[in-house]
Amino acid sequence: MDISAPTSTTPTDPRSFKSFADFYPFYLSEHSNRTCRRLHFVGSTLALVCLGMMVATGKPQYLLYGLLCGYGFAWVGHFGFEKNKPASFKRPLYSFMGDWVMYKDIWTGKVPL
């Protein structure tokens, strides 16, 4: 998969996509920095651990911890390394879906970590 930055100098508005299939290549282009992708991967993994802890313990605060891990690591990646604004501010559902598709694509080797 090509995760390079778009060739256009005009910023793409994430709200312009009509389907997730159209959005996902844009999502990947917004994650061209390896450190940003790695931070997403760590945050998503920790979010899954927190979800497991919530199920195992029945303590709902683990849901909050999972959200903090997932979004916290991702936002550090975007603001600190990718130098862009997360698409979740304008397309939250597609961005959430993109996080998990990219996570799967990293595990399967389609996206480099």
Q: What is the pLDDT of residues 21-42, one digit of tens each?
A: 999 999 999 999 999 999 999 9
Residue 37 class from Cβ within 10 Å (0-12 exposed, 13-18 middle, 19+ buried)? buried
**CA-wise closest residue to 77 among 86, 66, 64, 68:** 86
Is residue 9 predicted with pLDDT exceeding 80?
no
Is residue 49 predicted with pLDDT exceeding 90?
yes
Ranges of each domain in the chain: 26-107
Is residue 4 predicted with pLDDT exceeding 80?
no
Distance CA 82, CA 89 (A): 15
What are the tens digits of pLDDT across the range 73-101? 999 999 999 999 988 888 999 999 999 99
Is residue 2 predicted with pLDDT exceeding 80?
no
Across the chain, mean pLDDT equals 91
Contact 27, 98 (CB under 8 A): yes
